Amino acid sequence: MNTHIALTFTQPELLDHLLALDASELDTLEFGIIGIGADTVVRDYNALESKLAGLSKERVIGHPLFTVVAPCMNNFMVAQRFEDAAAARQALDLTLDYVLTLRMRPVKVQLRLLAGPQAERRFVLVNRKP
Amino acid sequence: MCVDGDGAGDGDLAQEHEALLQFVYMAPAGLIQARSDGEIAMINPVAAQLMMPLSRDGDLSNLFTALEDIAPDLRSRLAAFAAPQGMVCDGVHLLTPGAAKGERRMFSFSLIKLDDSRIMAMLQDITWQAQRERLLHHQEAWLNAILTGVADYALISLDARGCVTEWNESIGRVTGHGTEVVGRSMALFYPEDAITPERVLDRLHEAEQSGWSLDDGWRQRADGQRFWGSAMIAPQRALAGDNPLAAALAADDDADETGYCLIVRDMSGHHRAAEEARHAAVCDHLTGIGNRRAFFDAAETELRRWRRLPRPLALLLIDADLFKGINDTHGHPVGDAVLRHIARQMGATFRQIDVVARIGGEEFAVLLPSADLANAQRVAERLRAALEAQPAPTNAGPVRCTVSIGIATMDEATDSVDALLERADKALYVAKRSGRNRVCGPAALLIEPG
């Protein structure tokens, strides 16, 4: 099954590819995926992200990302960027260096923020630095 | 894992573990556990969120390093804490630099020594609370000024320029001055280096704006003897309404010229407790001079005054030369002794009205009200020469540490404390690059390529 999905963290046009995948397909990808709606409620939370953060999908999906799951992203670097892009009705595709506190260890990661111009689906992708 | 009395099995424990994990993820305060050398073992999201903008290159591996710019004295505080465990500091206020995308923030920071090898820290953003608290403190100071017992007070009427308009007995009693004070500036009640003519006008203006202006500090009698006192200034019209004394003073006042009422109160015996509390909040733990918070508070005030009424204002940025080498060669305790020596020399060099502070690890700043470039250069050179001539006494014997000094003066093009600091920093960079142990002013920048 994971043979026909070979998406990478840096791949162009990634948003369209992700939107075409179901939950079990997202689970096969080798970077963390958090999908949120315009209301910031988490819709997708893939297996790798769940393992990195130590939180099960049940605990995360259906809850607001910035209050329950990742308060550390509620700032101008992440949350604000989604808001700004939505306000300008522009697509967002931005990669930035970040530090996450995965299971309370400071971990250097790259985040890739993706959103379409309608912004009803948004993704935060997490790639652990080598 | 066996099932215990409550019937909790592996699954329940995993559930509980996850719930605990999320509890710490969601905690609204920053929590950090580290080794005693600062190496971070655990950190929660809020702590990372608060610290990341402060840390150079976003590295959060060491607590002390990440907070170095806003709390350079953490290592020495922990080292000086002798008890096997306990609260090293409790709710200390730390002021952050203005980030690219935001205002200066105020953090509350607590550090707990768990044992010889582990520490815990708590970090909270209290910017809004701090602003509220300052307002409350202001009101409290005002109430104190009116309500607390005082040894004695003098009631003095001032004209629009802050000069004494008439003598009365209370002036003689509290300050020892006779009728010769009439027509002279209220500055004569202050020690010579504690006020400038511009500051007198600032105080009058602030009294006009907010109804009153209050400052506590050293005052001086006619015989030169100092006493701890407070000076409250109020426009006479404002006071006259509900204060019979002020109304009496204002009675024969010229109607079209603003006058002020100055109350100088002798607070001898009261100042120690007040001074200790103030000291803890605004002084650097290691050196005893002002800390970042005191510096930025004073600098913001001074810039506000400047914008209203431009006048000379200079900033010195002072950096200990090759300081890392001293730490590496002799160890941190000797480095600390050198920093204390520099701070002492600064205390001996600058005036009381100057704002002298340690704003980074080995970086100091001095704000010189009413000083132009030539004044600033002269006094900076005096400090540089004193430190070159006099090594610091340390446990490892005398250690010489020179300083490089960058000077910036305030002008129309400079719109913030950070911009002024940045210009002083550029001059400092030139001083460093051209061989250290020297003073560079803005002119040095003109001949510096790039």
Which residue of B21, B46, B102 is in closest CB contact with A103? B21
What average pLDDT does this structure show over B120-133? 86
Residue B239 pLDDT = 43
Q: Which residue of B has its CA nearest to A109?
A: B58
Chain A: closest CA distance from residue B47 (Å)? 8
Residue B248 has pLDDT above 60, yes or no: no
CB contact under 8 A, A99 and B22: no
Q: Which residue of B has its CA nearest to A51?
A: B18
Chain B: closest CA distance from residue A125 (Å)? 17
CATH 3.30.450.20 maps onto chain B at: 10-129, 149-269
Chain B: closest CA distance from residue A101 (Å)? 6
Tokens of B10: 């592996």
Backbone conformation region of residue B410, classed left if phi is above 0, alpha if psi is from -120 to 50, else beta: beta
Convert B230-265 to b/e letters by CB count within 10 Å (16 or more is b). Answer: bbbbbbbbbbbeeeeebeebbeebeeeeebbbbbbb
What average pLDDT does this structure show over B140-147? 61
Residue A111 pLDDT = 95
Residue B151 pLDDT = 65
Positive or negative CA dihedral for A23, A27, A29, A33?
A: positive
Which residue of A69, A99, A101 is in closest CB contact with B44? A101
User: pLDDT band at residue B186, thresholds of 50, 70 and 90?
Assistant: very high
**Count of A–B CB contacts within 8 Å?**
59
Residue B129 pLDDT = 82
Chain A: closest CA distance from residue B35 (Å)? 14
Cβ-based contacts of A105 with chain B (< 8 Å): 42-43
Residue A112 has pLDDT above 90, yes or no: yes
Measured in whole angstroms, how far is the alpha carbon of residue A90 from the centre of its chain?
Answer: 18
Residue A126 has pLDDT above 50, yes or no: yes
CATH 3.30.70.270 maps onto chain B at: 274-447
Residue B9 pLDDT = 66
What average pLDDT does this structure show over A31-46? 93
Cβ-based contacts of B25 with chain A (< 8 Å): 53, 55, 69-71, 101
What average pLDDT does this structure show over B383-394? 96
Residue B380 has pLDDT above 60, yes or no: yes
What does the radius of gyration of chain A's CA atoms come to, in whole angstroms?
A: 14
> Which of A97, A104, A108 is the best mutation test for B, with the most CBs of B within 10 A?
A104
Residue B362 pLDDT = 94
User: How much is the pTM?
Assistant: 0.57
Contact A95, A110 (CB under 8 A): yes
Position with higher pLDDT, B137 vs A20: A20
Cβ-based contacts of B44 with chain A (< 8 Å): 101, 104
Q: CA of B133: how far to CAs of B126, B127, B140, B416, in Å?
A: 10, 10, 10, 24
Distance CA B333, CA B393 (A): 12
Q: CATH assignment of B149-269, given 3.40.30.10, 3.30.870.10, 3.30.450.20, 3.40.190.10?
A: 3.30.450.20
Position with higher pLDDT, B162 vs B241: B162
- Show Cβ contacts of residue B92 under 8 Å, excluding neighbours closer than 6 positions: B71, B108, B109, B110
Residue B155 pLDDT = 87
Q: Domains in chain A and their CATH numbers?
A: 14-128 (3.30.450.20)
Topology (CATH level 3) of domain B10-129: Beta-Lactamase (3.30.450)
Position with higher pLDDT, B125 vs B104: B125
Residue A51 pLDDT = 92
Residue B5 pLDDT = 46
Residue numbers of A between 24 and 63 with CB closer than 8 Å to B: 53-56, 59
Q: State the DSSP H helix or E strand holding residue A110, giving kind and residue range, or none if neither.
A: strand A105-115
What average pLDDT does this structure show over B297-316? 91
Directed axis angle between helix B292-308 and helix B271-282, to 10°?
A: 100
User: pLDDT band at residue B138, thresholds of 50, 70 and 90?
Assistant: low
Average pLDDT of chain B? 85
Topology (CATH level 3) of domain B274-447: Alpha-Beta Plaits (3.30.70)
Residue B140 pLDDT = 67
User: pLDDT band at residue B257, thresholds of 50, 70 and 90?
Assistant: low
Cβ-based contacts of B58 with chain A (< 8 Å): 97-99, 108
Residue B288 pLDDT = 87
Least Cα distance to B109 among B339, B292, B340, B276 occurs for B292
Residue numbers of A between 76 and 105 with CB closer than 8 Å to B: 76, 97-101, 103-105
Which tens digits make up the pLDDT trace of B8-59? Answer: 567 788 888 888 888 888 888 999 999 999 999 999 988 988 888 887 777 8
Which tens digits make up the pLDDT trace of B210-240? Answer: 778 888 888 999 999 988 888 889 887 544 4
Residue B215 pLDDT = 85
Residue B74 has pLDDT above 80, yes or no: yes
Lowest mean pLDDT among B92-96, B333-337, B355-359: B92-96
Tokens of B268: 């001898």
Position with higher pLDDT, B15 vs A36: A36
ipTM of the complex: 0.83
Residue B254 has pLDDT above 50, yes or no: no
CB contact under 8 A, A99 and B48: yes
Residue B147 has pLDDT above 60, yes or no: no
Residue B122 has pLDDT above 90, yes or no: yes
Distance CA B21, CA B285 (A): 35
Which residue of A53, A72, A104 is in closest CB contact with B49? A72
Lowest mean pLDDT among B153-167, B258-272, B359-373: B258-272
Which tens digits make up the pLDDT trace of B400-450? Answer: 999 999 999 999 988 899 999 999 999 999 999 999 999 999 876 654 443
Positive or negative CA dihedral for B186, B190, B196, B198?
A: negative
User: pLDDT band at residue A1, thresholds of 50, 70 and 90?
Assistant: very low
Residue A2 pLDDT = 45
Residue B184 pLDDT = 95
Distance CA B75, CA B291 (A): 16
Which tens digits make up the pLDDT trace of B303-312? Answer: 988 988 889 9
Position with higher pLDDT, B292 vs B447: B292
